[in-house]
Amino acid sequence: MLEDFLRGCVSFRKIDTLKQHFSSLYQETIKLDKSPPDAILDSGNVATLRKKSRNSSPVQCSDSFGDVIHMDIIFGPEIAIGNIHYGIIFTDRCSRMTYIYPLHNLTSDIPQQ
């Protein structure tokens, strides 16, 4: 396993703590490549939007369940079990309940979900 691949899987966080526990947490079949890693790419280096100032006034809850529902598309660097590439996430503003549905593609699966 390449160290760069591992960094990408954990959102470019520091992996030194994770690396030192490999021998006790995982089977001996998982080994890191001994070649030196590439330059560490931080996700902040490639961000295209500047961070906005933090909102100090929270959003008011709606009166009843289902009045306001927020939706977003989620994805990651790898393909999940079952050939899942993306997900669609819904959050109800009243209850703060979150629902996640798998998407194989972004064209035909969105209307189904």
The answer to whether residue 52 sits within a structural domain is no
Rounded Cα gap, residues 11 and 77, in angstroms: 9
Rounded Cα gap, residues 41 and 54, in angstroms: 25
The answer to whether residue 64 sits within a structural domain is no
pLDDT tens, residue by residue, 16-47: 777 777 667 666 766 666 666 555 555 555 66
Domain count along the chain: 2
The answer to whether residue 60 sits within a structural domain is no
Closest CA to 6 of 45, 38, 32: 32
Give the mean pLDDT of the chain: 76
Tell me the residue range of the domain where 15 lies. Answer: 3-42
The answer to whether residue 78 sits within a structural domain is yes
The answer to whether residue 19 sits within a structural domain is yes
User: Which residues make Cβ contacts (< 8 Å) with residue 83, sequence separation at least 6?
Assistant: 104
**Residue scoring higher pLDDT (7 or 108):** 108
Contact between residue 43 and residue 11 where contact means Cβ atoms under 8 Å apart: yes
The answer to whether residue 34 sits within a structural domain is yes
The answer to whether residue 54 sits within a structural domain is no
